[in-house]
Structure formats: structure tokens, C-alpha cells
Amino acid sequence: MDLLAAMKERRSARTFLDRPVARKDIEEIFTYAGLAPSAINMQPWEFVITYGEEKDRLVRRLLKARKERQVACGPGTTDPLPEKYVDRSRRAAQDMQPAVEQLGVAFNRFVEEGSCSFYGAPIAIIVTIDRRFPAIRYLDVGLSVAYLLLAAEAKGLATCPIGLITAYGADIADALSIGENKEIVLGIALGYADETAPINQFKTARAGQGEILRWYE
Ligand SMILES: Cc1cc2nc3c(=O)[nH]c(=O)nc-3n(C[C@H](O)[C@H](O)[C@H](O)COP(=O)(O)O)c2cc1C
């Protein structure tokens, strides 16, 4: 698959097949994730990969933490955001809504429980960065994650980045023996998408260039 096609076709998957992913395929997509550029080549990203019984244990722990603390899905900001961002997130939820309705589950519950269970994907990835890095280095980690998502797409695998699980960072760190000096910045569900599931068939919209570009000439 060519790069531009992978960029165009990638979408987040939220129902996965019960089909294992070969270890060599996982290793290969991480080879590509590691090719991302980073400031003075520090490569500040680190990934913890779980599958099988360890992943199930992590999911059980996260679902329990969710039940106790019920962290809602949101932008994670304290100050109110400009309306255009609120509007885009509202539209993302609307794009997903009809497929969630077909499942007969409340939207927030679907996203929150789904996120905590990595949407049933066979592989759960935890993305970390050393806390001693300044916030700007999270950009480098994001680049590596983007490479990872596109490499997965190119290999016929599906992903869903999952920010919600960072609300339960202490539980994850404990379950996976992640040291205190590491910050958990993202989860990623990885596997083969169930292409027949309506929840995997919608495509989110994007802002037009008029909204995100400013030409100064
Ligand atoms: C940093 C980040 C965090 C995200 N967190 C979640 C999440 O917790 N749960 C979820 O279902 N999707 C999550 N997503 C997926 C976004 O909802 C999705 O990328 C967005 O709606 C655009 O859709 P697309 O990925 O299908 O193009 C996250 C994506 C990113 C990049």
C-alpha cells in the first residue's frame, strides 16, 4: 500500500476480530515507528506491548478503575476551549452516534468502557515518555505514534489511539511495572478490524484548509 493511500484510508477501529497478530508483524510496525524523526535524535518514545493473559489482566484492572472513578471522555482542558474545537468534537461524536445506537449502548458508556478494554483488540500498547523531558518532546512521541498507525494500516492492521486510559495511569503503571519516571501518554489498540461492524465503517470529517491554514504572502 502506498503511503498516501494509507494516510487516506486509516481510521480508528473500535471492534476487532478475535485473530492473533503475528509477532513479526508487530515487530515490523515498531521498526517503522522507530524511524520517526526526533529532536537531536533522542527518540524519547517507549512502548509497552501486552497481549494474551497479560492484556486481559490489564483490561480487567482498567475496567475496575473506571467503575470506581468514572472518568469521562473529554478534551482534558480546564479553561473553556474556543467554540470551533468544541464543535469539532461534537461532530466526531455525531459521526459515531448512529453506529453506537445500533449496539443499544449509551454513547459515553461505549467509549469509556470500550477505551478501557482497548475495544477488544488482541494487542494493547502503552506509550510512555520519560517525565524529565519538557512538554515539547511529546511532539516527537506523537510523530512516532503517527508512523506506527500508518505502518499498521499499510500492513492491513487496524488501530485506535486511546487517550482516556491515561486517566488511570497509576493503575497501568502498577499492572505493568512501569517506573515512576515514565509518564503514560497514550494507549493504542492494535489488531485486525472487524470490517463488517458499523462502528468501523464511518469516516470522521476534517476541517477544511480555510480553517487551518493562513497564507501570508
Ligand atoms: C491522542 C488521541 C487520543 C484519543 N483517545 C481516544 C479514546 O480515548 N477513545 C477513543 O475511542 N478514541 C480516541 N481517539 C481516536 C479519535 O477519536 C479519532 O482519531 C478521531 O475521532 C478521528 O477519527 P479517525 O482516527 O477515525 O480518523 C484518540 C485519538 C488521539 C489522536
pLDDT at 182: 98
217 residues of the chain, pLDDT tens digit each: 799 999 999 999 999 999 999 999 999 999 999 999 999 999 999 999 999 999 999 999 999 999 998 877 777 777 889 999 999 999 999 999 999 999 999 999 999 999 999 999 999 999 999 999 999 999 999 999 999 999 999 999 999 999 999 999 999 999 999 999 999 999 999 999 999 999 999 999 999 999 999 999 9
* Best residue among 12, 126, 200 to mutate for probing ligand 1, ranked by most atoms within 8 Å of CB: 12
177 occurs within a structural domain:
yes
Binning the chain into helix, strand and coil, the percentages to the nearest 5 are: 50, 15, 35
If you measure from the C-alpha of residue 188 to the centroid of ligand 1, how many angstroms do you get, rounded to a whole number? Answer: 10
Beta bridge partners of 190: 123, 159
pTM of the model: 0.97
Q: Can you list the positions of beta strands (E) in the chain? A: 45-51, 123-130, 158-162, 182-191
If you measure from the C-alpha of residue 112 to the centroid of ligand 1, how many angstroms do you get, rounded to a whole number? Answer: 12
> Which atom of ligand 1 is closest in space to residue 164's alpha carbon?
8
213 occurs within a structural domain:
no
Number of domains the chain is built from: 1
Q: DSSP states of 83-121 as a string?
A: HHHHHHHHHHHHHHHHHHHHHTS-HHHHHHHHHHTGGG-
If you measure from the C-alpha of residue 160 to the centroid of ligand 1, how many angstroms do you get, rounded to a whole number? Answer: 6
Nearest CA to ligand 1 atom 27: 11
* Best residue among 105, 162, 164 to mutate for probing ligand 1, ranked by most atoms within 8 Å of CB: 162
170 occurs within a structural domain:
yes
Range of the domain at 169: 3-72+81-203
208 occurs within a structural domain:
no
65 occurs within a structural domain:
yes
Residues near 8 by Cβ (< 8 Å), separated by ≥ 6?
none
Question: Which has the closest alpha carbon to 195: 5, 4, 8, 11?
Answer: 11
212 occurs within a structural domain:
no
54 occurs within a structural domain:
yes
209 occurs within a structural domain:
no
CATH of the domain at 36: 3.40.109.10
Query: What is the three-class DSSP state of 186?
Result: strand
